[in-house]
Protein backbone atom coordinates (compact mmCIF):
# COMPACT_ATOMS: atom_id res chain seq x y z
CA UNK A 1 0.00 0.00 0.00
CA UNK A 2 1.16 3.49 -0.88
CA UNK A 3 -0.41 6.74 0.35
CA UNK A 4 0.27 9.82 -1.78
CA UNK A 5 -0.77 13.45 -1.69
CA UNK A 6 -2.93 14.32 -4.67
CA UNK A 7 -5.41 16.88 -5.91
CA UNK A 8 -9.13 16.40 -5.47
CA UNK A 9 -9.52 16.75 -9.25
CA UNK A 10 -6.95 14.04 -10.06
CA UNK A 11 -8.50 11.39 -12.37
CA UNK A 12 -8.06 8.63 -9.75
CA UNK A 13 -9.60 10.89 -7.09
CA UNK A 14 -12.58 11.64 -9.35
CA UNK A 15 -13.09 7.93 -10.04
CA UNK A 16 -13.03 7.06 -6.33
CA UNK A 17 -15.28 10.03 -5.55
CA UNK A 18 -17.80 8.64 -8.04
CA UNK A 19 -17.65 5.28 -6.23
CA UNK A 20 -18.20 6.82 -2.79
CA UNK A 21 -21.08 8.91 -4.15
CA UNK A 22 -22.68 5.75 -5.55
CA UNK A 23 -22.28 4.07 -2.16
CA UNK A 24 -23.90 7.04 -0.40
CA UNK A 25 -26.79 6.90 -2.87
CA UNK A 26 -27.13 3.16 -2.24
CA UNK A 27 -27.15 3.58 1.54
CA UNK A 28 -29.28 6.74 1.77
CA UNK A 29 -31.07 7.05 -1.54
CA UNK A 30 -30.91 10.23 -3.58
CA UNK A 31 -27.87 11.65 -5.26
CA UNK A 32 -25.14 11.14 -2.67
CA UNK A 33 -23.30 13.82 -0.69
CA UNK A 34 -24.25 17.33 -1.80
CA UNK A 35 -21.59 19.13 0.28
CA UNK A 36 -19.99 21.73 -2.00
CA UNK A 37 -16.34 20.74 -2.52
CA UNK A 38 -13.66 21.94 -4.91
CA UNK A 39 -10.02 21.06 -5.44
CA UNK A 40 -8.80 24.33 -3.91
CA UNK A 41 -10.17 23.35 -0.50
CA UNK A 42 -7.62 20.55 -0.19
CA UNK A 43 -4.42 22.37 -1.13
CA UNK A 44 -1.80 22.46 1.65
CA UNK A 45 -1.48 24.12 4.09
CA UNK A 46 -5.25 24.72 4.16
CA UNK A 47 -6.16 21.13 3.43
CA UNK A 48 -4.86 17.82 2.20
CA UNK A 49 -6.15 15.11 -0.11
CA UNK A 50 -4.69 11.60 -0.01
CA UNK A 51 -4.98 8.71 -2.44
CA UNK A 52 -4.24 5.11 -1.47
CA UNK A 53 -2.85 2.66 -4.01
CA UNK A 54 -2.59 -1.10 -3.51
CA UNK A 55 0.57 -3.06 -4.29
CA UNK A 56 -0.57 -3.49 -7.91
CA UNK A 57 -0.87 0.31 -8.31
CA UNK A 58 -4.67 0.41 -8.30
CA UNK A 59 -6.38 3.34 -6.53
CA UNK A 60 -8.30 1.86 -3.59
CA UNK A 61 -8.93 4.64 -1.09
CA UNK A 62 -9.05 8.32 -0.24
CA UNK A 63 -9.12 10.66 2.69
CA UNK A 64 -8.92 14.42 3.08
CA UNK A 65 -9.27 17.37 5.40
CA UNK A 66 -10.07 21.02 4.79
CA UNK A 67 -9.49 23.97 7.11
CA UNK A 68 -12.09 26.26 8.59
CA UNK A 69 -10.70 29.64 9.58
CA UNK A 70 -13.84 31.27 10.93
CA UNK A 71 -16.96 30.09 12.66
CA UNK A 72 -19.42 29.29 9.89
CA UNK A 73 -22.10 26.64 9.61
CA UNK A 74 -21.27 25.52 13.17
CA UNK A 75 -17.50 25.09 12.71
CA UNK A 76 -15.00 26.54 15.19
CA UNK A 77 -11.87 28.48 14.22
CA UNK A 78 -8.97 26.06 13.89
CA UNK A 79 -11.14 23.15 12.77
CA UNK A 80 -9.98 20.70 10.14
CA UNK A 81 -12.94 18.85 8.67
CA UNK A 82 -12.43 15.27 7.59
CA UNK A 83 -13.86 14.54 4.15
CA UNK A 84 -14.01 11.69 1.66
CA UNK A 85 -12.76 8.87 3.85
CA UNK A 86 -13.36 5.92 1.58
CA UNK A 87 -11.93 2.48 0.84
CA UNK A 88 -13.19 0.37 -2.05
CA UNK A 89 -15.17 -2.67 -0.94
CA UNK A 90 -12.62 -5.16 -2.24
CA UNK A 91 -9.84 -3.46 -0.22
CA UNK A 92 -11.66 -3.17 3.11
CA UNK A 93 -10.64 -5.02 6.25
CA UNK A 94 -6.90 -4.35 5.82
CA UNK A 95 -6.55 -1.31 8.08
CA UNK A 96 -6.21 1.16 5.20
CA UNK A 97 -8.76 3.65 6.56
CA UNK A 98 -7.05 3.65 9.96
CA UNK A 99 -3.67 4.41 8.33
CA UNK A 100 -5.14 7.22 6.23
CA UNK A 101 -6.91 8.66 9.26
CA UNK A 102 -3.68 8.67 11.30
CA UNK A 103 -1.82 10.44 8.50
CA UNK A 104 -4.58 13.03 8.13
CA UNK A 105 -4.51 13.71 11.88
CA UNK A 106 -0.72 14.16 11.81
CA UNK A 107 -0.81 16.45 8.78
CA UNK A 108 -3.66 18.59 10.16
CA UNK A 109 -1.82 18.96 13.48
CA UNK A 110 1.39 19.93 11.64
CA UNK A 111 -0.57 22.56 9.72
CA UNK A 112 -1.67 24.15 13.01
CA UNK A 113 -5.22 22.81 13.13
CA UNK A 114 -6.53 22.41 16.68
CA UNK A 115 -9.47 20.05 16.20
CA UNK A 116 -10.47 17.42 13.66
CA UNK A 117 -14.22 17.21 13.05
CA UNK A 118 -16.36 15.06 10.82
CA UNK A 119 -19.91 14.19 9.92
CA UNK A 120 -20.94 10.70 8.96
CA UNK A 121 -24.28 8.99 8.62
CA UNK A 122 -26.25 6.61 10.75
CA UNK A 123 -26.18 4.06 7.91
CA UNK A 124 -22.37 3.86 8.01
CA UNK A 125 -21.70 1.74 11.12
CA UNK A 126 -18.20 0.86 9.90
CA UNK A 127 -17.24 4.54 9.83
CA UNK A 128 -18.79 5.19 13.23
CA UNK A 129 -16.82 2.28 14.66
CA UNK A 130 -13.57 3.52 13.11
CA UNK A 131 -13.95 7.02 14.52
CA UNK A 132 -14.95 5.87 18.01
CA UNK A 133 -12.05 3.42 18.18
CA UNK A 134 -9.67 6.16 16.96
CA UNK A 135 -10.42 8.50 19.86
CA UNK A 136 -13.12 10.67 18.36
CA UNK A 137 -15.93 11.82 20.64
CA UNK A 138 -19.50 12.00 19.41
CA UNK A 139 -20.89 15.53 19.61
CA UNK A 140 -24.43 16.35 20.68
CA UNK A 141 -26.68 16.81 17.63
CA UNK A 142 -27.08 20.50 18.53
CA UNK A 143 -23.34 20.96 17.93
CA UNK A 144 -23.57 19.69 14.36
CA UNK A 145 -21.96 21.59 11.52
CA UNK A 146 -21.81 21.82 7.77
CA UNK A 147 -24.27 20.92 5.06
CA UNK A 148 -25.91 18.12 7.06
CA UNK A 149 -26.03 19.85 10.47
CA UNK A 150 -29.82 19.53 10.61
CA UNK A 151 -30.09 16.00 9.19
CA UNK A 152 -31.46 13.38 11.60
CA UNK A 153 -29.30 10.80 9.76
CA UNK A 154 -26.07 12.61 10.68
CA UNK A 155 -23.62 11.79 13.45
CA UNK A 156 -20.94 14.35 14.36
CA UNK A 157 -17.53 13.62 15.87
CA UNK A 158 -14.56 15.69 17.04
CA UNK A 159 -11.03 15.01 18.25
CA UNK A 160 -8.63 17.54 19.74
CA UNK A 161 -5.33 17.88 17.91
CA UNK A 162 -3.71 19.80 20.74
CA UNK A 163 -0.75 18.17 22.53
pLDDT score for 74: 84
Largest distance between two CA atoms of the chain? 44
CATH topology of domain 2-160: Aminopeptidase (3.40.630)
- Could you tell me if 8 and 66 are in contact, meaning their C-beta atoms sit under 8 angstroms apart? no
C-alpha atoms less than 13 angstroms from C-alpha of 149 in its C-beta half-sphere: 11
The continuous run of DSSP H or E covering 157 comes out as strand 154-160
pLDDT at 71 over 80: no
pLDDT at 124 over 80: yes
- Residue 56, classed as helix, strand or coil, is coil
Nearest to 134 by CA among 121, 116, 155, 122: 116
What tens digit of pLDDT does each residue of 97-115 get? 999 999 999 999 999 999 9
Q: What pTM, to 2 d.p., does this model score?
A: 0.94
Q: Indicate the pLDDT class of residue 69, thresholds 50, 70 and 90.
A: confident
Amino acid sequence: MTIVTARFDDPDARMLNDLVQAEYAERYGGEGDVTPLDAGMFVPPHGLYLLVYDDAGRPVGTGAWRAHEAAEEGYAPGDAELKRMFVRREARGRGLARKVLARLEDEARAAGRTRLVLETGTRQPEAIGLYRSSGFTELPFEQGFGTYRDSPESVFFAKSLLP
